[in-house]
Amino acid sequence: MSQKRGHRAIRRRTLLSAVGSAAGLSATGTAAGNPFESADDQRRCPEATIRPDMAPCSGASTDGCADDDPETIELREQARERIETQYATVGDLIDRDFVPYFDVKRPGGSSGWSHWLNPEYIGDDSMLDPAHPESILVDNESLRPIGIMFIATVDGDSVDPPPPVYTRETEGEDETDEEERRCSPWHYHRGFPGRFAWKFYRQVYERDYEDRELSVPCRTPCMMHVWTVPHPEGVYAHDAPPAEYRRGPSANDPGFETHVDPDERQLGWETLPDAVVPDLRPRDVLGLW
């Protein structure tokens, strides 16, 4: 996908035209429609919600997951090593073609941490590969990477069910029986903020408008977090760890030129180099509706 099209951000006029068409298509034919209240969207995506929401992917289970399992320890260490050697700063992410994906709990709101996506890795044929992390998770205050996120795609297409991290055989109630306990903590987003954020990424960096794929998807691909900083809910927890767990020393050098002091302002569009910021931002797109 990204290897075929490239992922340079498209410019404002083209994207305005594309998302303007998307607004009309997803809001029962009126550009003034509101996707948060669109009857057409509700019919097309019956499980979708207005507020942020997620659900387990097919075959997902955390019954077999444990932070002290050898597979979890190895995966976390591989992720940590990859961050320390290749993705230690936001500048490293920019240099390695990751693109900002500032998530929101609501339009205009910030969750205090962000996903940075790599179109090449989303578009390749690997999954669960720490050497090809589809996303790096960053704390917006310290500007420090705090984990990775796998996205279950092959050649850019969603894979469901995605593969488990590992399985374990345990004794059942009858000592002669064995049960398979799976560690497969994959989830997808069905709430509008997550669905919209994924669509914005696809429109801006994957140029979906060229294929006339303009409507907001009913769900995102399956995703899975691996936190490399301590987390009270475990390595695979869905939400980010509390601030006190992820706010280590601020990155003295963010790795990129900025006119804003990173010690005084959280990571966001305003702190990034102009070349990294698309002409049209999520809040501009939401303003079309």
What are the sequence ranges of the domains in the chain? 2-168+182-286
Residue 100 or residue 150, greater confidence: 150
Q: Identify the weakest region by mean pLDDT among 17-31, 141-155, 187-201.
A: 17-31
* Residue 11 confidence (pLDDT) above 80: no
pLDDT at 150 over 70: yes
Q: Judge whether residue 114 has pLDDT over 70.
A: yes
243-262: average pLDDT: 73
Statement: residue 40 has pLDDT above 60: yes
What is the CB neighbour count within 10 angstroms for residue 57? 22
- Give residue 250's pLDDT band: very low, low, confident or very high (50, 70, 90): low
Confidence at residue 184, expressed as pLDDT on a 0 to 100 scale: 97
What residue spans of the chain are helical by DSSP H? 2-5, 12-26, 39-44, 70-86, 90-95, 119-122, 192-205, 243-246, 282-286
- Band (pLDDT 50/70/90 cuts) for residue 32 is very low
Q: Which residues contact 3 (CB under 8 A, 6 or more apart)?
A: 120, 123, 124
Taking 50 as the threshold, does the pLDDT of residue 149 lie above it? yes
**pLDDT attached to residue 8:** 46
Q: What are the pLDDT digits (tens) for 74-85?
A: 999 999 999 999
Tell whether the model's pLDDT for residue 214 goes beyond 80.
Answer: no
Query: CA 23 to CA 34: how far, in whole Å?
Result: 8
Q: Is the pLDDT of residue 36 over 60?
A: no
pTM above 0.85, yes or no: no
- Token pair belonging to 163: 């593969």
Residue 205: closest CA among 100, 92, 86, 89 = 100
Which backbone phi and psi does 187 adopt, to 5 degrees? -140, 160
